[in-house]
Structure 1
């Protein structure tokens, strides 16, 4: 049977450790083994699980044994360091792909090893070189049939759903691919046209004014009164001053002008009321997110020293990486702070009335086009930018095809039920942040009208969050260590990630603390109160904040050395750690705002952070894709060290911000500009209508 031809290739891989000429079993003997196994299977099986074309192709291959030498050379072979976790034998992807009519197939098996009264499951990843005519199902069937015939049932199990054969192109060119490419070209064209229109208008204005065409300095006259846009965790989207002759079409193209938008990114000016340290906090938190994800993504690919890597992860200094999850709470805190700090000005100008449509539409429009573009890139561009033994394992994205709409509606932290089924799994944060924003007026308006009532409502919501979080952790006995959730546990039964980590009612505490802090800062600013803090109080505040922050980040150090948290410990830490972390952030912001931050204030408030701060949103959306391109294109198992992790982290950070700049310039900034353009023209139209009505009356 041709299935046994695949099995014989496995024998070749096991017997040829370095090069085919050093095979322990001669090729002639392997052919006899192949024929003997075929006779055995023919007498014990009534069906052939291999397709007809695969049958003929494998038969032709074994008729000429000289063809087997390069094939065997490319097969994955058992290497040294199995006890250190080297169970990934990937072979040579490039050598196999360079051979005519051959394809590389990535396979995953599970070895059942008796360990006392229990069995231990050892995952094995194997790279095979098979003829093109054989499908992934043919490979899976052939491997399992050989294993059953030689080792017996249950000794080694083939994961039939984890057999991936490389294709060229990696995926068929679909309508979605062509649409995404067209959209990218269209956006690039609009950016170029906008640039040309801007140059044309400036030259025309100088000619009319009788000014020279070339000056030493170009100065943009930006509207700096829109503090809400300027202070939000969004880019500045103000228009440069335009001449009276500018029409709507020209202004439309100027929305996409690359030179104007890049100038706004690099602008380091800030309004007087800005909380300058927020830019530094935002960029550092985004960098922390990338660092944590770099480590997590490295855990998704094979390592040749998994045991050694696990020991490194147990070190005290590594806790700052394994507990990088607090960086997300920093963003929740900042978002809540800015909502109150900025919206209070609007409420004061309108007498307590909130412009509801603008309040919600601005937020949704500011996020959604950029998220939609990220989904298109994830689904239709990313598959064609890399290749490797594990690349085709990463390609299937069935959940985006099913649940993309839940991501754009910001309900993907509830539907689908599991984080592993979300379209862009990391966008659960956006859903939480949007849901917090939607309910923020419940606290915001009472805070404006009555401080006491507002803080009572805030405290009630905070208490309810504590109760729900503690109850979920206690009733389901959840392990609050997010890294403790395996892919299997994420798909079945209650777990910390799906039940607590991504749910808004469990994550709202930092947002509420941020809202409270935003109210305090806004009232102190609006009443022009001079805040003075004694050196003793400042020192105590910094000491307490440092102790609490270190306790949050390093408090689980004992769990890395075998300590199992009790239910009470899980409940206490899982319920209050994020709240405690946000309290330390409150002190940092307060201290930096009122001149008791010292070196911390100087560092966080430096203008260097401002351009990077405007790119954090797009960097957040794109950095997991950069990590996919990096780790899933490895041709060999990763050798984990802190040095390698550090170099990968720096590279991913730089490339993420570079990609973020392109996404911001092509989608995020133009959409913000279009919103302001339409708002400005609608305001003008309403003004003209009112003037006409007055004349008629």
Structure 2
């Protein structure tokens, strides 16, 4: 493409510098031309983008008779090319403005684009600095009082790294806790992060894009597409933990109509502080954390919906307001909207169920849950009859949550009981469990990728969720009942227990890490199993490290503060992710 097609030469300063570079400055001319994207190799494999040399371009700086010439890198993207990222990198003088060619988009960056902080950045960094200073004072106070064996003020150690670190890295659990949940939670989180890496790749140029799209639409990628089951597992665990803690304390009548506001307030204090921090990270310093030919564009894709649509994000209804990730603020947090909406309606089941149990009406209590489960299956099936599958909507995901509530009640009622299962029956159930889980994981792709048979798709999705939840129930039951000691030992290991406490922060922070690692690339990516496995391991490691900082700085102190403020009136329960 000719320089005149993207550069506005009517601007005198631009015209002078372009003319000087082309006619008089051979070194700068060669650097700029060399930094331009060329005709890419591998076009028959689907490589339709040549990014050029980003770093070489933005580092051009030379004093000349026509002023200081500095490089500006522009990514020219050809839009409306079906399922393909196409474009090239261009290097022009910084003083030049660009004009938008027909059917193309241009994103330009200079060396100052990611190093110059604005007022929003300074404000947010100041807030983080205040938190860091409070953590320092609280930690010093905690250390000093421990050393001299002085009485501690509970509020003064809320932000102590020592106290919160002990809570985070404590591997001993109480006798009434179910340790295998930690392993299930962590494995599900790893599955989600690994699958999201593939979906973020859709925003990037891929060297073998033709193979990538054929692979993504084939059954070979079922383990990526089926990661939605991990989301259902989280919903199931949410219901399980809530019911287990509620019914375990039913003699205290932990949840009543007057305490419902505290029930909701506790949940909001659990969710909102980390959500708020990650929201402002995306709006401010994320764009300054790295650089690259694609980085600014990827960050803007995340920032723009949060600037325009922040209210549904904080009010937990964006999963119904929007049905595509381009419009949602931090699209992966649609799950939190689903989770909170389910939490809003949970007292309608828990309060009458608790009263029935106090009156020893166990059969009626189970009938109540059975009726709720039946509604959670039939209502979505009727609503979705003959229409496209709605991935984000809460009514399509109620059944795993209800089954979690039921299993939580069952485990409380039978926590001191050991079931003796005949060996043959035990192996048969495990075989059916594994087959069912494989069928759910493998064939769910048909509902999201291959067919437009909405009726059969929705029937399968409607019944696959209870089936998957039933399989998770069996895994938990087997671990608690000590039928599978090896599996229980694996799922209850110390690493999983610690990482389980990080899961909420990991869920929020995963996109920051994915944008940071993948958006910083200087060359088109290659879709191949082993490179992506290596990348996923790095993503999980970095996400875990950042989550430790997040938990020690915000999550753990706020949870402790919420318990202290609401302790007298709140229902005694904490729903963990």
With structure 1 as the length reference, what TM-score do the two structures score?
Answer: 0.74
Distance 1:49 1:102 in 2: 16
Q: How does 1:249-328 map to 2 (within 5 A)?
A: 250-310=153-213, 312-313=215-216, 318-328=221-231
Residue 75 of structure 1, aligned match among 36, 52, 74: 36
Q: How does 1:247-646 map to 2 (within 5 A)?
A: 250-310=153-213, 312-313=215-216, 318-350=221-253, 353=256, 355-396=259-300, 397-416=303-322, 418-450=324-356, 451-471=362-382, 473-476=384-387, 478=388, 496=389, 500-525=390-415, 528-556=416-444, 564=451, 566-646=453-533
Q: What whole-Å deviation, never above 9, does each CA across 1:484-511 have from its counterpart, x for those lacking one?
A: xxxxxxxxxxxx4xxx211111111110
* Higher relative contact order (CA closer than 8 Å, sequence separation 6+): 2
Distance 1:557 1:505 in 2: 20
Mapped pair 1:187 → 2:131 = yes
Q: What whole-Å deviation, never above 9, does each CA across 1:38-83 have from its counterpart, x for those lacking one?
A: xxxxxxxxxx895554444434444437343221111101122101
In structure 2, the CA distance between the partners of 1:386 and 1:352, relative to structure 1 (3 Å rule), is: closer
In structure 2, the CA distance between the partners of 1:467 and 1:172, relative to structure 1 (3 Å rule), is: farther
Verify the 8 A CA contact 2:195 2:224 in the aligned structure 1: yes
Q: What whole-Å deviation, never above 9, does each CA across 1:566-608 have from its counterpart, x for those lacking one?
A: 3333122222222211111011111111111243222112233
Give the greater-gyration-radius structure (CA).
1
Verify the 8 A CA contact 1:108 1:123 in the aligned structure 2: yes
Distance 2:255 2:344 in 1: 18
Aligned-residue offset at 1:626: 0.2
In structure 2, the CA distance between the partners of 1:54 and 1:262, relative to structure 1 (3 Å rule), is: same
Verify the 8 A CA contact 1:470 1:574 in the aligned structure 2: no
2:574 matched to which residue of 1? none
Aligned-residue offset at 1:614: 0.6
Verify the 8 A CA contact 1:135 1:165 in the aligned structure 2: no
In structure 2, the CA distance between the partners of 1:308 and 1:472, relative to structure 1 (3 Å rule), is: same
Greater CA drift, 325-334 or 162-171: 162-171
Aligned-residue offset at 1:412: 2.0
In structure 2, the CA distance between the partners of 1:69 and 1:471, relative to structure 1 (3 Å rule), is: farther
Verify the 8 A CA contact 2:79 2:104 in the aligned structure 1: yes
In structure 2, the CA distance between the partners of 1:110 and 1:342, relative to structure 1 (3 Å rule), is: closer
Aligned-residue offset at 1:470: 3.5
Mapped pair 1:102 → 2:71 = yes
2:93 matched to which residue of 1? 131
Aligned-residue offset at 1:380: 1.0
Aligned-residue offset at 1:323: 1.5
Distance 1:474 1:681 in 2: 47
Verify the 8 A CA contact 1:548 1:580 in the aligned structure 2: yes
Distance 1:319 1:301 in 2: 21
Distance 1:423 1:171 in 2: 25
Mapped pair 1:64 → 2:24 = yes
Q: Counterpart of 1:428 in 2: which secondary structure?
A: helix
1:488 matched to which residue of 2? none
2:544 matched to which residue of 1? 657
Distance 1:430 1:509 in 2: 16
Q: Counterpart of 1:475 in 2: which secondary structure?
A: coil
Aligned-residue offset at 1:183: 1.5
Greater CA drift, 461-470 or 178-187: 461-470
Q: How does 1:5-16 map to 2 (within 5 A)?
A: 5-7=3-5
| Structure 2 unmatched runs, 5+ | 62-69, 357-361, 571-577
Q: Counterpart of 2:318 in 1: which secondary structure?
A: coil
With structure 2 as the length reference, what TM-score do the two structures score?
Answer: 0.88
RMSD over aligned Cα atoms = 2.8
Distance 2:197 2:294 in 1: 17
1:158 matched to which residue of 2? 103
Aligned-residue offset at 1:418: 3.9
Distance 1:196 1:309 in 2: 53
Distance 2:181 2:275 in 1: 23
Distance 2:6 2:193 in 1: 44
Aligned-residue offset at 1:424: 1.4
Verify the 8 A CA contact 1:5 1:58 in the aligned structure 2: no
Distance 1:302 1:679 in 2: 50
Verify the 8 A CA contact 1:443 1:454 in the aligned structure 2: no
Distance 1:184 1:347 in 2: 41
